[in-house]
Every structure is written in C-alpha cells, then in structure tokens.
Amino acid sequence: MQGENTMDESCIWMKAGVLTYKLCDAQFECDTCPLDVVLRQPHEETVPATAHSFEYVVECALPGQLTGEIQKLLTPYCTACLHTDRYYSDHFMWAHFHNSTLVEIGIDEYFLSILPASTTFVLAARKTPLQRGTPFGWAYFGHVSFPLLAPISGSIVTRYAQCTPIPLPFIAKTNLPGSLCTVLPVYPDSEERNLICAETYRSVLHKQMARFVRKACRELSTDRQATGIFVNDGGVPVQTLEEVFGSEAYIDLVKDAFQLQYSAP
C-alpha cells in the first residue's frame, strides 16, 4: 500500500513534484540512475528558455576629467542588467522561481563580471541540504577564497557543472548567466519574502557599482592617465582593470569595493 515510510524512500523527482509517485530503487545514487538522466536533461535545456529578457538596466556615471583611454577602460564596469523574474539577496546571489517547487540559484551577473578571470568555484554535491545565509560553495582566487551564501533553504537537485573546481567562464556562459544549481526549497511559499525584487535591488546594485568605479578611479594614477595604459611588452593597450593593476592588486580592489570577507582556503 502507498503510504508508510515512503517519504524516506521517495525519489527526489517525486519530492520536486515532477513525478506523482516513485520510490527510489537506485539507493539514491542519482548520477547513475537512468530515470534521473532522462528527467534531468530536458529540465536543464528547457527551464532557462525564458531567461534572456531583462527589464532594468543599471548605469553608473563616470567621474569627470578622465582621459579617453581611462573612460573606455571603465565603461564596461558601469552598466548591468537586472531580471524581473529573479529575486536577489544582499550576498550577490539570485533566485529564479521556476514553479512552486523548483528554484534556480546563481551569482549576480555584475559581480560575476568583475571577478578575476582565474576565479574557480567549488559547490556542494547534489542532495546537499542548504540553509539560507550559510555557505553552499566557495569561490577561489589564488591564495584567498570567499563563501557563496545560499539565498534560500532547501536541497540541491541539479548542478549545472559536474566538474570540480568549476572555471568562471563556464558559470558566465550558462543559459542563465551565473547559474549554479537548482534547489528544492524547504519553504516554497515563503522564500521570496526573504529576498529582494529586481526593482528594489536596482539601488543596491547601483551603490555597489559606484563604489567599485570610484575606488578603481582612485587607484588609477595620474601617471597612467598622462602616459596611457599599456602592458609591459611594448605598448599593447590593456583591455581590463585586472591587466592594469595585476592580479593581486585587482583582487584587493574587488575585496575592498564589495566588502568581501575573504579567508585562506
């Protein structure tokens, strides 16, 4: 009879509401379960289909008296997009509620865009329980790291990258840029209340963007503005602030501007 002790044996896709009734017969080894492979692939391909529309463009004005080269270098750091179908946390994370049971979570696109190119990510495994505001992964750069704090409570259903560590370019090029995983929330009807809608998050992001640009301008010396910005191999113009400052100084700039709590891994 359907009933007794089934919750302990219920397939994770039954808990997610995809299947009406299914008990696990694979000892919860989802990675080797044929049913999981079949159900997960369509989900990962079709769920993000609504992802590419955005409603809000956040822009930050550059300080005056900058040379054309400096303005060109800083312009990419002065614009960002926010999506009205996502909710944001104050820890640079977002949540996209696909339906009443599944939530996709990821990293703020602007924050992702200013991270050093060599940043890598380590995430918790599938079926790992998450607690809102606590780490479910880490971002690593050189000798330092900082936590990725879960925007909601729940358990990981799918991860968009199976490799470890995950390189930054992979995260940036997912169907929803910044996507990390899909989560089965503990409180599906109330999680949105703990997050910030895109319209309200605009002011939060603008302040973060303006602080980063101000600090970058302050670090760019008058000598650089007078002589032009070049790398050391014969006058080739640089393309990013990381190339200007060097990796170690740039990560200090990011850490300071976004007030990140870094630690040794």
Q: What is the pLDDT of residues 134-188, one digit of tens each?
A: 999 999 887 778 899 999 999 998 887 777 788 888 888 777 788 999 999 988 7
Examine the domain organization and report whether 80 and 158 are in the same domain: yes
Are residue 16 and residue 77 in the same domain, yes or no? Answer: no
Q: What percent of the chain stands above pLDDT 70?
A: 77
Residue 81 sits in the same domain as residue 184: yes
Query: Is 136 found in the same domain as 66?
Result: yes
Bin 241: left if φ > 0, else alpha if -120 < ψ < 50, else beta. Answer: alpha
Contact 220/244 with Cβ under 8 angstroms? yes
Mark 69-99 as b/e (b = at least 16 C-beta within 10 Å): bbeebbeebbebebbeebbbbebbbbbbbee
Question: Is a pLDDT exceeding 80 seen at residue 119?
Answer: yes
Residues 131 and 257 in one domain: yes
Residues 208 and 153 in one domain: yes
Same-domain pairing of 16 and 134: no
CATH number for 143: 2.40.50.100
- Give the rounded distance of the alpha carbon of 261 from its chain centre: 17
Question: Phi and psi (nearest 5°) for 22?
Answer: -165, 125
113 and 184 share one domain: yes
The domain containing residue 102 runs over which residues?
57-265
Confidence of residue 198 (pLDDT cuts 50, 70, 90): very high
> In the chain, helix, strand, coil percent, each to 5?
35, 25, 40
Q: How confident is the model at residue 63 (pLDDT cuts 50, 70, 90)?
A: confident
Confidence category of residue 42, pLDDT binned at 50, 70, 90: very low
Within this chain, do residues 130 and 258 fall inside the same structural domain, yes or no?
yes
* Overall number of domains in the chain: 2
pLDDT over 50 at 43, yes or no = no
Q: What is the mean pLDDT of residues 117-128?
A: 90
Span 210-249, pLDDT tens digits: 999 989 988 886 545 444 555 545 566 778 888 888 888 8
Banded pLDDT at 3 (limits 50, 70, 90): very low
Q: In whole angstroms, what is the distance from residue 13 CA to residue 256 CA? A: 42
Q: Determine the pLDDT at residue 29.
A: 75
